[in-house]
Amino acid sequence: MTTAVAGGVKAAVAGATGYVGGELLRLLTDHPRITEVRAFSTSAAGRPWAEIHPNFLNRPDTPVFETFDARQVGAWADIVFLALPHGESQLVIETIEEGSPELVIDTAADFRLKHPANAERAYGRHSKPEFLGAFANGLADIEAGALAGATRIAVPGCFATAAMLSLWPLAPVLSAESHPVCWAATGSSGSGAQAKSTTHHPFRAHNFYGYSLTGHRHEAELDERLSDWCGPRAPRCSLLTHSAPMIRGIHATLQVRLAEPVEDPMELLHTAYADRPFVHVLDQPPRLTSVVGTNHAHLHAVARDGGREVLVLTVIDNLIKGAAGQAVQAMNLARGFSETAGLGDTGISPC
Ligand SMILES: NC(=O)c1ccc[n+]([C@@H]2O[C@H](COP(=O)([O-])OP(=O)(O)OC[C@H]3O[C@@H](n4cnc5c(N)ncnc54)[C@H](OP(=O)(O)O)[C@@H]3O)[C@@H](O)[C@H]2O)c1
């Protein structure tokens, strides 16, 4: 899919038949600075994109998936987006980098953690521990200018993104005793395109349940970020994850106890996100459908118990702000494009 734009950039998506891969294809083909997008796949080479992602039926052209060959992808692309299941990116990263692409962006968990011990605790043995710490943190709304010039970016997990957006404004007032708890619910697209018993419609459509309640993998990301932000006074955040009867989106409610009361937690949110184009601090609790289909996050904070307890409510689209959109935003920041390029504004309503 090619559009003639001077000084454009070639982008490759690996794992292109997946849900995150599909969203990357959609965003990148509309991106004003990307001239060519190719979709690489292990399961669908030779088949039209629209066979897997029917939203591409609306396009005038019919590009096809191409065989995923890490060497070829790295040699052809300026920017490589990896949208593979956990464990796969670490198997191909060295071969991809032999081709010297200018930027590799991984949406999986392979390179999100800096410390090998944390990675092993959360995900088991890592086959390329030397790459841990070598990827910039892709939490675009917070890292912002720090991503300029990055050549490797790891996009945070979708739950972790919602929890970190909630925690970041409170970082100055957190202590080791704050014990933040983030209670979050996601839609079924969070577990990928492959059918499972827990994503089967009769099981999932009208159901609501908790999972990974003894410890969710994304807590390791929260530990590392809180330690970066708060140093020795960093608390540990419990992430309580739930499946909700919807397809897209995450609703997160963060609850924190504070040693010193905070009079107006909304002020902390406004200060933290004053100039950020995709984060909006609302005067009322956010609603999920306002962000579904967009790269935006909506937040609201409430003080309880005279300001000793604070709630932060955050909503995001797991596939866009929690993955593909954040990856494109991180690319924009890394490459010096307009931060909002290719990411649109309004979603759909009602949805
Ligand atoms: N879903 C979300 O909300 C979300 C949010 C944030 C981050 N993520 C992360 O982003 C990555 C992609 O997520 P996703 O939801 O798009 O997953 P998905 O729908 O399951 O897609 C993953 C794709 O990876 C490719 N693949 C390559 N090797 C594979 C293997 N051994 N087994 C299965 N698939 C293989 C397949 O595409 P080809 O056949 O085309 O190669 C597959 O469609 C994951 O690491 C996930 O944790 C997902």
Closest ligand 1 atom to the C-alpha of 110?
45
CB-ligand 1 contact for 162 (6 Å cutoff): no
CA 179 to ligand 1 center in whole angstroms:
32
Name all domains of the chain by residue range, CATH numbers in brackets: 9-156+321-335 (3.40.50.720), 159-319 (3.30.360.10)
Determine the residue of 19, 27, 82, 84 to mutate for testing ligand 1's pocket, defined as the one with the most ligand atoms within 8 A of the Cβ atom: 84
| pLDDT score at 351 | 83
Q: Where are the alpha helices (DSSP H) in the chain?
A: 19-29, 49-52, 70-76, 89-98, 116-123, 140-143, 158-167, 201-204, 219-230, 265-272, 325-335
CB-ligand 1 contact for 42 (6 Å cutoff): yes
| pLDDT score at 1 | 46
Where the chain has pLDDT below 50, the residues are 1-5
**158 catalytic, yes or no?**
yes
What does the CA dihedral 194, 198, 203, 209 come to, rounded to 10 degrees?
Answer: -140
> At a CB cut-off of 8 Å and minimum separation 6, what does 138 contact?
105, 147, 153, 154, 155, 156, 326, 327, 330
CB-ligand 1 contact for 62 (6 Å cutoff): no
CB-ligand 1 contact for 17 (6 Å cutoff): yes
pTM of the complete model: 0.97
Query: How, if at all, do strands 250-257 and 152-154 pair?
Result: unpaired
pLDDT tens, 271-303? 999 999 999 999 999 999 999 999 999 999 999
Angle at 10 between CA 7 and CA 12, to 5 degrees: 165
pLDDT tens, 313-337? 999 999 999 999 999 999 999 999 9
Angle at 98 between CA 95 and CA 102, to 5 degrees: 110
